């Protein structure tokens, strides 16, 4: 594990880096946090990607509020804090921070210059918005909350994107999922997988709604997607 410092016009922020544990130049994947910061769960995701042959980078997107903030989804006070930060969060600044992280990832030693972006919850939304802006080579969004409120940007997606939606998501209800599917149905770059009966954050290790079988399926699809498109 190492730390990368990313520069943007209004400052710098840190990113957790898990180097690919394979020989030869590796693709990079920028891993976008949930509302709890770059916590143990996000670092675990990065470490698992590194074991699969990717260099994984998770930027601290809450750095303007509190650098290094790490919260626990089992702590009610942390939920309150996380939701307050989320509600005040500037999405466009977040997308700009991700674009800067992608640019830095392209030049990391041991990487092949190709970069994917993947994210969960808030990170899933930011992944979708990054895809619409073209900040990356391939994109994977896990249950991106409020994606349905930004469908006007869908036409900008011109690079490969994979989306995972939880069928019983309490934060992305059926009508929102239907709107997302309708807006992206004609885009040949986008593939959407649904997971019937699953709740929001079904792929979060250790989470209340974690489902080992469907998380494994989603993560396998993600790894195969990135292996195909970032090599």
**CA dihedral of 193, 197, 199, 202, whole degrees rounded to 10:** -60
Domain boundaries, position 57 = 2-230
Which residue out of 148, 164, 200, 214 is catalytically annotated? 200
What pLDDT was estimated at residue 206?
A: 87
SS3 53: coil
Using the CB atoms, write b or e for 183-193: b if 16+ within 10 Å: bbeeeeebeee
**Tally of structural domains, the chain:** 1
Q: Report the length, in residues, of the chain.
A: 231
Helices (H), the chain: 40-51, 76-88, 91-106, 122-133, 174-184, 212-230
HSE of 156 in the Cβ direction (CA atoms, 13 Å)? 14
74 is catalytic: no
**Cα 54 from Cα 230, distance rounded (Å):** 10
Which residue out of 73, 97, 169, 214 is catalytically annotated? 169
Q: Which residues contact 192 (CB under 8 A, 6 or more apart)?
A: 162, 163, 164, 165, 180, 181, 184
Question: Which regions of the chain are under pLDDT 50?
Answer: none
For residue range 170-209, list pLDDT tens digits in order: 999 999 999 999 999 999 999 999 999 999 999 998 899 9
CATH number at 65 reads 3.40.50.1820
* Alpha-carbon distances, residue 116 vs 171, 195, 219, 228 (angstroms): 25, 23, 14, 11
77 is catalytic: no
What pLDDT was estimated at residue 75?
A: 96
Q: Which of 102, 112, 104 is nearest to 23 (CA)?
A: 112
What pLDDT was estimated at residue 224?
A: 98
What pLDDT was estimated at residue 66?
A: 96
Taking the model in full, what pTM does it have?
Answer: 0.97
What pLDDT was estimated at residue 31?
A: 98
On whether the CB atoms of residues 42 and 16 are closer than 8 A, the answer is yes
What pLDDT was estimated at residue 23?
A: 86
């Amino acid at each position: 594990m190492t730390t990368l410092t990313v520069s943007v016009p209004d400052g710098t922020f840190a990113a957790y880096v898990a180097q690919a544990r394979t020989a030869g130049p590796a693709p990079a994947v920028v891993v976008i946090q949930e509302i709890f910061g770059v916590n143990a769960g996000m670092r675990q995701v990065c470490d698992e990607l590194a074991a699969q042959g990717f260099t994984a980078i998770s930027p601290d997107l809450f750095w303007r509020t509190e650098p290094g903030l790490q919260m626990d989804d089992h702590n009610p006070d942390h939920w309150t804090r996380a939701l307050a930060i989320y509600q005040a969060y500037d999405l466009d600044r977040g997308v700009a921070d991700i674009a800067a992280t992608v640019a830095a990832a392209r030049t990391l030693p041991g990487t092949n210059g190709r970069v994917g972006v993947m994210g969960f919850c808030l990170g899933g939304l930011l992944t979708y918005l990054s895809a619409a802006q073209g900040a990356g080579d391939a994109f994977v969004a896990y249950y991106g909350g409020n994606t349905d409120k930004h469908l006007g940007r869908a036409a900008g997606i011109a690079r490969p994107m994979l989306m995972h939606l939880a069928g019983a998501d309490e934060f992305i209800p059926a009508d929102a999922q239907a709107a997302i599917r309708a807006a992206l149905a004609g885009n040949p770059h986008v593939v959407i997988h649904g997971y019937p009966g699953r709740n929001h954050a079904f792929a979060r290790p250790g989470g209340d709604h974690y489902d080992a079988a469907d998380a494994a399926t989603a993560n396998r699809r993600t790894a195969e997607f990135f292996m195909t498109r970032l090599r």
